[in-house]
Chains A and B, each alone.
Chain A
Amino acid sequence: MNEILQLLVYGLVLGSVLAMGAIGVSMIFGILRFAHFAHGDFMTLGAYLGLAFIAAFGLGAWWALPAAMLGMAIVAVGIDQLIYRRLRRTQPVILLISSFGMALILRSLVQLIWGSDNQTYVSGIQFPWRLDWLGGLRLKPDHAWIVLISAGLIVAVHLFLSRTRLGKAMRAMSDNMDLARISGIPAERVIMMTWIIGGALAAAAGVFLGIDTRLHPMMGWTTLLPVFAAAILGGIGRPYGAIVGGMVIGLSMEMSTLLISASYKPAVAFAIMVLMLIVRPQGIFKGTL
């Protein structure tokens, strides 16, 4: 029982990370109509930007978060303006290929600048709290923070999408791009906002991963497949679906270790995704693709 609770905690933490990535992927997929294969490496670069910031100013690990989010928001918009924007009128698959190439570019840049060794935000081990009232469950403060901050970010995204005009326009464009044009909604502004949010949340996911484990140039790429699985599970273009998808995939991946080897965790995410694609490709919340 205790083991199950422990895995539940890990599942929530992983789920939070995946949700952060999946919201961005889902929105980019819904509005720009392509699978953004560089999103994992957005997470990686975000994590490393955060590392550079705290190293430069000698700050605590959690200061990496705002720096990473701001940094990646800018980088994401930059990449779109420089490259993706010019490919918008071509076949959607060209954007996919380009993003695949972008992933490699970002990854190799990270490797060139920071090297391929593992890095961490802080040295030393953090001692977990022991929650006796939950059967002696061990909870690392970092885990609690990751889940709480993710929840906060999710609330912020929700408020943006449901209360602001630009947020509603984003949902509208995801629903029906042509009608959005017909209504006069400025597509480029919505697209820019999509990259800002996508980049910032991806950076958050990267920082969470870095804080929970360590930083490594491949850290985002290995998370990309579960992130895609979460986005597809929730329904493309459905940010709330992405959150649910992230949690389901995260929990499934961690719980699966009760039955199968931990090295096959990505396979669990993949299996769920393939099942969805066969049985209900529009996802739980009926996405726009």
Chain B
Amino acid sequence: MELAGITGYLISFLTFTGIYAVLVLGLNSQWGFTGQFNIGIAGFFAVGAYTSAILTTPGSPAYLGGFGMPFVAGLAGAVLASVIVGLAIGLITARLRTDYLAIATIGIAEMIRLFIKNEDWLTNGVRGIAGIARPLAGTPLDTPLGYLLIVAVFVVLAYFLVERAYVSPWGRVLRAIRENEPATAAAGKSIARFRLQAFVLGSALMGLGGGLYAHFFGFLSPEAFKPLYGTFIIWVMLIAGGSGNNRGALLGALIVWGVWTGTELATGLLPSHYATQGAALRVLLIGVLLQVILLTRPQGLLPEKPPKLIAKRPH
């Protein structure tokens, strides 16, 4: 492979890592800050991606569109839509115990995917939305490297946002809730409200990730937001990197995406009729990798004190 091919590949790899990093940071806001176990990441991811796509693509008879708004507006719309969805969901789930929250969030993600698949008038269903514009078409930055820079900027912004939030007075209350919920409640702080805020922050970041994904990939379909890609892999990233930890989130995104694409390269060397089997093999590998991590080093590579769960074990 020539140098240009390799650098091209590397740029693409890093861009995807960056997008996933934003998603993992969002998940950490929910899990790391307040112990809310969201398996419905794919839902927010999808909402953000589709919103941005719908807002920015030119008109089409097949689905709702034609707003033709610029990239930034698309992203803003993505974040806004995710915030609204996050608020609605958070209001329901903020009081649920961990297991129920997990089930509820995965249900929501599946409902969102079902909605996207069925409501063709909005999303073009399974045929998906294509031709999503690169953000800075026509400018010198309209290159893969330029796009990587944009994603990198957002990763840095997201990282600073969550880090500052963590050390802010707001973050202090969240940590107090984590350490000693009854005392914090007694001090007059509304636990549910703070949890909701952390949840919405997380959803906003996930929506942002979705928007970035849409514009980078250029094509959206419900398939991209199945639980494996949209949720599971992000959880593996957070756990591998170190849950409850923003730096761990970034490291996990890099490593797990590396393993994932590495296995894609490996199975790509197989004859083509093994393609679907190759995909299944990679999924098997990631699943086994997760078990190994959970059994040997559940705190991840960069351990930090894990959050106290919402629900106490009864009896």
Chain A positions within 8 Å of B, measured between CB atoms, are 29, 33-35, 37, 83, 86-87, 90-94, 96-98, 100-102, 104-105, 107-109, 111-112, 115-116, 176-179, 225, 228, 232, 261, 263-264, 266-267, 270, 273-274, 277-278, 281, 288-289
Over the window 281-296 of chain B, the binary record of Cβ atoms lying under 8 Å from chain A Cβ atoms (1 yes, 0 no) is: 1011011101100110
Q: Are A109 and B99 in contact, CB atoms less than 8 angstroms apart?
A: no
Find A105's partner among B103, B118, B291, B314 (CB 8 Å cutoff).
Answer: B291
Give every chain A residue within 8 A of B108 (Cβ-Cβ): 270
Complex Cα distance, B315 from A288, in Å, reads: 10
CB distance from A27 to the nearest CB of B (A): 14
- B118 & A91 in contact (Cβ 8 Å cutoff): no
Q: Report how many residues on chain B are interfacial, defined by Cβ distance under 8 Å.
A: 43
**Are B290 and A111 in touch, CB under 8 angstroms?**
no
Is B96 in contact with chain A by the CB < 8 A criterion? yes
Contact between chains at B232 and A278 (CB < 8 Å): no
Cβ contact within 8 Å between A232 and B309: no
Given contacts A101-B232, A111-B276, A274-B107, contact A263 B290 (CB under 8 A): no
9 CB contacts below 8 A, A to B, read: A90-B298, A91-B306, A92-B98, A92-B309, A93-B102, A104-B284, A108-B283, A108-B287, A263-B114
> Which residues, 245 to 291 on B, are CB-close (under 8 Å) to A?
276-277, 280-281, 283-284, 286-288, 290-291
Given contacts A96-B98, A104-B287, 15 further A-B contacts (CB under 8 A): A37-B102, A83-B291, A92-B309, A93-B99, A100-B235, A108-B287, A115-B277, A263-B114, A267-B111, A270-B107, A270-B111, A273-B103, A274-B104, A277-B104, A289-B314
Q: List A contacts of B111 (CB < 8 A).
A: 266-267, 270
Shortest distance between the CB of A190 and any CB in chain B (Å):
15
From known contacts A35-B103, A273-B103, infer whether A97 and B315 are also in contact, taking CB-CB under 8 Å.
no
Counting chain A CB atoms within 10 Å of each CB, which of B103, B235, B298 scores highest? B103
CB distance from B130 to the nearest CB of A (A): 23
Q: B-side interface residues toward A, CB under 8 Å? A: 37, 39, 92, 96-100, 102-104, 106-108, 110-111, 114, 117-118, 228, 232, 235-236, 239, 276-277, 280-281, 283-284, 286-288, 290-291, 294-295, 298, 306, 309, 313-315
User: Are B96 and A92 closer than 8 Å at their CB atoms?
Assistant: no
User: In the assembled complex, how far is the CB of residue B265 from the closest CB belonging to chain A, in whole angstroms?
Assistant: 18
Q: Is the CB of A176 within 8 A of B315?
A: yes
Which among B96, B100, B295 is the interface contact of A83 at CB below 8 angstroms?
B295
A29 near B104 with CB under 8 A, answer no
A93 proximity list for chain B (CB < 8 A): 37, 98-99, 102, 309
Please report the C-alpha to C-alpha distance between residue A93 and residue B118 in the assembled complex, in whole angstroms: 33
Taking a contact as CB atoms under 8 Å apart, the answer to whether A273 and B232 are in contact is no
B232 A104 Cβ-Cβ under 8 A: yes
Counting from the closest, the 7 A-B pairs by CB-CB distance are: A105-B287, A101-B290, A111-B280, A108-B284, A108-B283, A104-B287, A108-B280
Residues of the B chain whose Cβ atoms lie less than 8 Å from the Cβ of A29: 99
Residues in A neighbouring B284, C-beta threshold 8 A = 104-105, 108-109, 112
Chain A residues within 8 Å of B314, by CB: 288-289
How far is it, in angstroms, between the C-alpha of A115 and the C-alpha of B273 when the chains are bound? 12
Residues on A with C-beta less than 8 A from B106 are 225
Specify which chain B residues have a CB less than 8 angstroms from the CB of A100 in the assembled complex.
39, 232, 235
Task: Give Cα A257–Cα B277 distance, bound, in whole angstroms.
Answer: 36
Q: In the bound complex, what is the Cα–Cα distance between A96 and B277 (angstroms)?
A: 27
* Contact assessment for A97 and B290 in the assembled complex, using a CB-CB cutoff below 8 Å: yes
A102 touches B287 (CB 8 A): yes
Q: Tell me if B102 and A35 are in contact (CB < 8 A).
A: yes
B281: contacting residue among A91, A108, A115, CB under 8 A: A108
